[in-house]
Amino acid sequence: ETGVTQSPTHLIKTRGQQVTLRCSSQSGHNTVSWYQQALGQGPQFIFQYYREEENGRGNFPPRFSGLQFPNYSSELNVNALELDDSALYLCASSGSRRGPDTQYFGPGTRLTVL
Amino acid sequence: DQQVKQNSPSLSVQEGRISILNCDYTNSMFDYFLWYKKYPAEGPTFLISISSIKDKNEDGRFTVFLNKSAKHLSLHIVPSQPGDSAVYFCAAAISGTYKYIFGTGTRLKVLA
């Protein structure tokens, strides 16, 4: 059974650029959640996808968008990057869209915006 | 508005002793709680969870206690080992919803 994987590991972009981060969910899981973890903070919920549809969204602007594919892998897209977008982006998968259910995290993508 | 708080940014404990990590929450609707451990350059690793219908859950060296009236949970690690040195996050959720709310983490250092 493979765990949650994310790519790339690190990424450096400049302000105004766009970025796409990728996530493969754990085998058998159909729900993917994305979180942003700024330095010294806990992860903050961005949104969740269940069977290719957005299932809920946190307090992030529309320039944060996502996709989920039929194989349950997922992408996070961020447009018009700002310096404050520099953070660790975490993807988590779970077996159902409704809690309580344990979410399993990938290793994260470290995004630096210059 | 920080709904989940971990008021101790760091904790040092001697190997073999008990580590107690604390977490407070404000939203009485939370009914599912989890602890994650995070090493540098890795994603959070699930440790243990507890539903609000229980006040204690044990898994090996890890025990989570929930005090609903005080809106407080704690993680006990006995005995502590140097490999337990990491940042520990508590998280809370409401059944039937889709997101976890995380605390800011406590850095545990277990001294050999």
Q: pLDDT per residue over B11-40, tens digit each?
A: 999 999 999 999 999 999 999 999 999 998
Which of B32, B91, B98 faces A48 most closely, judged by CB atoms?
B98
Residue A42: predicted pLDDT: 93
With an 8 Å Cβ cutoff, is A10 touching chain B? Answer: no
Residues 14-73 of B with CB under 8 A from A: 31-32, 34, 36, 41-46, 49, 51
With an 8 Å Cβ cutoff, is B105 touching chain A? Answer: yes
Beta bridge partners of B30: none
Q: Min CA distance, B16 vs chain A (Å)? A: 28
Instruction: Give the number of A-B residue pairs with CB atoms closer than 8 Å.
Output: 71
Sign of the alpha-carbon torsion through B93, B99, B100, B101: negative
Query: Pick the residue with more confidence: A99 or B17?
Result: B17
Residue A71: which pLDDT band, with cuts at 50, 70 and 90?
confident
CA pair distance A84, A38, nearest whole angstrom = 9
Neighbours of B3 (CB within 10 A): 14
Q: Min CA distance, B9 vs chain A (Å)? A: 9
With an 8 Å Cβ cutoff, is A95 touching chain B? Answer: no
Residue B94: which pLDDT band, with cuts at 50, 70 and 90?
confident
**Mean pLDDT over all residues of chain B?**
94
The DSSP bridge pattern shows strands B10-14 and B106-111 to be parallel
**Mean pLDDT over all residues of chain A?**
91
Tell me the percentage of chain A whose pLDDT exceeds 70: 94
CA pair distance A25, A33, nearest whole angstrom = 10
Mean pLDDT of A81-85: 97
- Own/partner contacts of A41-47, CB < 8 Å, gap of 24 or more, are A41/B104, A41/B105, A42/B4, A42/B6, A42/B89, A42/B91, A42/B102, A42/B103, A42/B104, A42/B105, A43/A90, A43/B44, A43/B89, A43/B100, A43/B102, A44/B102, A45/B99, A45/B100, A45/B101, A46/A76
Name the region of B16 (left: φ>0; alpha: ψ -120 to 50; beta: rest): left
Chain A residues within an 8 Å CB radius of B44: 43, 90, 105
